[in-house]
């Protein structure tokens, strides 16, 4: 196992890591404010990506403009989900809310092939071509698209963490995450905070899907974001939902360690998902709240 | 278990349902041809799904545990069956026993994991488990045939050594197994086990205070759900003689969940109607409409929408609707009550009417 192959594996994981971090962040935001795991995250992301693809491939618009339209679509869709559904299901328990999101996933799985995906539109990479990087004396080649995806998602995630820490919006999100009732008593508009996190999660998902779609042939596969969503969940339970950075760290561990397992030969690379998921199960059995979990005492 | 008059109606209903399914296949036999053979095949597929839904009904509707691993378990059952029949050459009865044993072990394993984690994470963990199984289905080529799937078209399968399992005979076996499991599920829901599970669903802490062992009933619920799913996989392999990884995806698990949510938990007929809505309505009725024929996915959209509406506004589902209709019809149509009374008097001892009243209240 040479240094070159390790570096090559790490760089080839960058795409997956960037997209997964964005998705994990979206899943975690919704978990924090609405106390549910959003099983429709992957499909809401795909909705935005297909909207962008329709504008790009069928209406011949500029790529950036199409992606922005896609992001706005998912943003508005997320907002609508909160305003129409989640807001009206306050007294449904957590598992019931999960089922609502599963219903949403089914709804979109049925809707997209009839409408936006009908003519199998696809998006193009942001930039064509490759770049060579000199790392530790080795020359590594990655596509420009991967590099720009990495830059965009890093800026976004760092920016969002700074916003959570230092802005008024971030403070209100953290307050709602802690206790929605108390936050409401302190004069925070909890409805707006929750609605905005759903919208933001939709927008982030759509961006991730628009960047990820062109690299894996999104046109014929309506559920192309579902594997990412499942990995996002696994990352979130690995890192634990109780801290904001838990899911992101979990995502990075899942991608990079998983792909390093892949270096162990052909069999290992086929079974790397199996190995990493089994490891996550073992971690969860030992630490049920994840690596960074904090125990919340439950009153009956 | 005591034989109550109320149960008698239900058993008569189950027998009628079984007869209906049997008649469909008999009418579809080559000599008679009153029904298209594709219709009969659709009902065979539907009954396999009923078995999955029944197991899941106990897990979600009674024990309140939302799992998304169902599709993986059904797939595993089908692959084990295919492998043991074709490559090892075991007789089907032995294969069924092995499949059930694997189901019990797997159910115990998942149940133990579920004890360590809270309700909401359970769906994620079981989803991860299904992913692990999918990786196995795709890559363990010697066992599963890989991405192209596993078929046993050329293997003759003889039940008990003399019944040749063609598609038609397998259909009758499926009817028998389905009705058997239906009766078993019904009895379980009306037994102390079912009531204990129901109490756990509403509040686990309260149930434990009343002496309901959370460990025992969680494990039991998972074992039942997994075994039912594995039996469904066994029957699927015998019926279609083919299994491929893409069949056992998240959509199937979501649809099974949707049929239990839409069916509600109040009555077993509600569950059957829920399963019919999700798995068979499109193939039997809606496909005649041009719109649904052109857009096979339109139906998934309807399922999703209905599922959201049921969770939000009508948590009882179809069962609740059936119970409401039953009570309403009794009040408004006097002869329903009369007929029911006369049947009760004929079928059972007078004492049974007391039970009847208790059940309704």
Distance of CA A116 to the CA centre of its chain: 21
Set of chain B residues whose Cβ sits within 8 Å of the Cβ of A270: 135, 139
Q: What is the pLDDT of residue A233?
A: 93
Contact A102 B205 (CB under 8 A): no
Set of chain B residues whose Cβ sits within 8 Å of the Cβ of A230: 127-128, 131, 250
Q: Is the pLDDT of residue B351 over 70?
A: no
pTM recorded for the entire structure:
0.89
Confidence of residue A91 (pLDDT cuts 50, 70, 90): confident
- Identify which of B57, B66, B63, B67 has the alpha carbon closest to the alpha carbon of residue B278: B57
> Can you read off the two tokens belonging to residue B40?
């009969």
Contact B308 A104 (CB under 8 A): yes
Flag whether residue B286 sits within 8 Å of chain A, measured between CB atoms: no
Set of chain B residues whose Cβ sits within 8 Å of the Cβ of A223: 250-251
Dist. CA B266–CA B250, nearest whole Å: 26
Contact A106 B298 (CB under 8 A): no
What is the distance in angstroms between the Cα of B326 and the nearest Cα belonging to chain A?
Answer: 27
What is the distance in angstroms between the Cα of B128 and the nearest Cα belonging to chain A?
Answer: 7
Mean predicted confidence (pLDDT) in B344-351: 64
Set of chain B residues whose Cβ sits within 8 Å of the Cβ of A274: 132, 135-136
Confidence of residue A297 (pLDDT cuts 50, 70, 90): low
Q: What is the pLDDT of residue A299?
A: 61
Q: Is the pLDDT of residue B350 over 70?
A: no
Dist. CA B316–CA B270, nearest whole Å: 10
Dist. CA B349–CA A179, nearest whole Å: 58
Is A246:A293 a contact under the CB 8 Å cutoff? yes
- Identify which of B299, B289, B258 has the alpha carbon closest to the alpha carbon of residue A110: B299
Q: What is the pLDDT of residue A300?
A: 56
Flag whether residue B123 sits within 8 Å of chain A, measured between CB atoms: yes
Flag whether residue A114 sits within 8 Å of chain B, measured between CB atoms: yes
Flag whether residue B124 sits within 8 Å of chain A, measured between CB atoms: yes
Give pLDDT tens digits for A141-164.
888 999 999 999 999 999 999 999
Which of B64, B68, B122, B124 would you mutate first to test chain A, the one with the most A CBs within 10 A? B124
More confident call, B228 vs A117 = B228
Confidence of residue B339 (pLDDT cuts 50, 70, 90): confident
Flag whether residue A282 sits within 8 Å of chain B, measured between CB atoms: no
Q: Is the pLDDT of residue B100 over 50?
A: yes
What is the distance in angstroms between the Cα of B251 and the nearest Cα belonging to chain A?
Answer: 8
Residue B242, Cβ density class (10 Å: 0-12 exposed, 13-18 middle, ≥19 buried): middle
What is the distance in angstroms between the Cα of A277 and the nearest Cα belonging to chain B?
Answer: 7
Contact B258 A106 (CB under 8 A): yes
Dist. CA B198–CA B176, nearest whole Å: 28
- Identify which of A272, A71, A282, A265 has the alpha carbon closest to the alpha carbon of residue B136: A272
Q: What is the pLDDT of residue A298?
A: 62
Q: Is the pLDDT of residue A296 over 70?
A: no
Q: What is the pLDDT of residue B348?
A: 65
Which residues lie closer than 8 Å to A243 by C-beta, 6 or more apart?
A292, A293, A294
Is B233:B99 a contact under the CB 8 Å cutoff? yes
Is A45:A74 a contact under the CB 8 Å cutoff? yes
Flag whether residue A80 sits within 8 Å of chain B, measured between CB atoms: no
Contact B303 A110 (CB under 8 A): yes
What is the distance in angstroms between the Cα of B155 and the nearest Cα belonging to chain A?
Answer: 30
Confidence of residue B106 (pLDDT cuts 50, 70, 90): very high
DSSP three-state, residue B158: strand
Dist. CA B301–CA A111, nearest whole Å: 6
Residue B287, Cβ density class (10 Å: 0-12 exposed, 13-18 middle, ≥19 buried): middle
Positive or negative, the CA dihedral A29, A34, A38, A41 is negative
Is B66:A99 a contact under the CB 8 Å cutoff? yes
What is the distance in angstroms between the Cα of A161 and the nearest Cα belonging to chain B?
Answer: 25
Task: Report the complex ipTM.
Answer: 0.89
DSSP string, B14-76: HHHHHHHHHHHHHHHSTTT-SS-HHHHHHHHHHHHHHHHHHHHIIIIIIT----S-HHHHHHH
What DSSP designation does B153 have? Answer: T
Set of chain A residues whose Cβ sits within 8 Å of the Cβ of B255: 106
Dist. CA B227–CA B168, nearest whole Å: 24
DSSP string, B233-265: HHHHHHHHSEE-GGGSSHHHHHHHHHHHHHH-S
Dist. CA A89–CA B227, nearest whole Å: 34
Q: Helix H segments across A217-294? A: 226-239, 246-261, 266-270, 272-286
Flag whether residue B323 sits within 8 Å of chain A, measured between CB atoms: no
Give pLDDT tens digits for B3-40.
555 667 788 889 999 999 999 888 888 777 787 888 88
Mean predicted confidence (pLDDT) in A93-116: 91
Q: Which residue has the tokens 């720009």?
A: A148
């Amino acid at each position: 196992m040479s240094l070159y192959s390790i570096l090559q594996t790490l760089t080839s994981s960058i795409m997956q890591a960037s997209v997964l971090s964005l998705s994990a962040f979206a899943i975690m935001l919704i978990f924090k404010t609405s106390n549910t795991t959003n099983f429709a995250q992957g499909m809401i992301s795909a909705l935005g990506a297909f909207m962008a693809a329709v504008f790009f491939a069928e209406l011949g618009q500029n790529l950036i403009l199409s992606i922005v339209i896609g992001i706005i679509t998912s943003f508005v869709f997320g907002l609508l989900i909160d305003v129409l559904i989640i807001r009206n299901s306050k007294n449904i328990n957590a598992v019931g809310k999960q089922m609502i999101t599963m219903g949403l996933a089914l709804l979109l799985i049925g809707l997209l092939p009839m409408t936006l995906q009908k003519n199998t539109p696809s998006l193009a990479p942001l930039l064509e071509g490759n770049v060579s990087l000199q790392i530790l004396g080795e020359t590594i080649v990655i596509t420009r698209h991967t590099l720009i995806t990495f830059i965009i998602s890093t800026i976004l995630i760092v920016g969002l963490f700074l916003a959570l820490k230092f802005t008024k919006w971030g403070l209100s999100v953290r307050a709602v995450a802690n206790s929605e009732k108390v936050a409401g008593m302190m004069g925070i508009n909890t409805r707006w905070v929750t609605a905005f996190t759903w919208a933001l999660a939709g927008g982030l998902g759509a961006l991730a899907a628009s960047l990820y779609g062109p690299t894996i042939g999104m046109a014929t596969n309506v559920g192309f974001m579902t594997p990412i969503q499942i990995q996002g969940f696994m990352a979130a339970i690995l890192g634990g939902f109780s801290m904001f950075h838990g899911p992101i760290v979990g995502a990075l561990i899942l991608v990079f360690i998983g792909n390093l397992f892949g270096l162990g030969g052909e069999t290992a690379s086929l079974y790397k998902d199996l190995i990493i998921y089994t490891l996550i199960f073992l971690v969860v059995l030992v630490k049920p709240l994840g690596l960074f979990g904090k125990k919340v005492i439950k009153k009956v | 278990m005591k034989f109550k008059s109320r149960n008698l109606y239900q058993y008569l209903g189950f027998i009628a349902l079984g007869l209906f399914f049997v008649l469909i296949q008999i009418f579809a036999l080559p000599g008679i041809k009153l029904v298209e053979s594709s219709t009969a095949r659709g009902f065979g597929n539907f009954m396999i799904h009923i078995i999955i839904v029944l197991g899941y009904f106990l897990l979600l509707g009674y024990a309140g545990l939302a799992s998304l691993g169902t599709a993986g378990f059904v797939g595993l059952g089908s692959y084990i069956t295919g492998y043991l029949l074709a490559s090892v050459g075991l007789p089907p009865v032995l294969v069924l026993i092995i499949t059930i044993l694997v189901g019990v072990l797997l159910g115990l394993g998942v149940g133990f994991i579920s004890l360590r984690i809270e309700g909401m994470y359970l769906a994620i963990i079981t989803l991860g488990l299904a992913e692990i199984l999918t990786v196995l289905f795709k890559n363990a080529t010697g066992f599963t045939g890989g991405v192209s799937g596993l078929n046993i078209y050329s293997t003759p399968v003889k039940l008990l050594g003399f019944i040749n399992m063609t598609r038609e005979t397998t259909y009758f076996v499926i009817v028998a197994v389905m009705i058997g499991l239906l009766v078993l599920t019904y009895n379980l829901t009306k037994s102390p086990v079912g009531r204990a599970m129901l109490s756990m669903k509403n509040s686990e802490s309260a149930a434990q205070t009343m002496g309901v062992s959370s460990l025992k009933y969680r494990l039991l619920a998972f074992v039942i759900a997994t075994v039912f799913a594995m039996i469904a996989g066994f029957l699927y392999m015998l019926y279609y003689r083919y299994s491929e990884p893409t069949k056992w995806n998240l959509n199937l698990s979501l649809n099974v969940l949707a049929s239990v949510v839409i069916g509600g938990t109040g009555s077993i007929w509600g569950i059957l109607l829920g399963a019919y809505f999700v798995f068979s309505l499109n193939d039997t009725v809606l496909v005649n409409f041009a719109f649904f024929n052109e857009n096979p996915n339109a139906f998934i959209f309807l399922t999703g929408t209905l599922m959201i509406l049921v969770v939000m506004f009508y948590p009882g589902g179809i069962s609740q609707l059936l119970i409401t209709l039953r009570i309403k019809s009794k009040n408004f149509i006097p002869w329903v009550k009369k007929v029911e009374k006369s049947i009760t008097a004929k079928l059972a001892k007078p004492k049974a009417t007391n039970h009847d009243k208790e059940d309704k209240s």
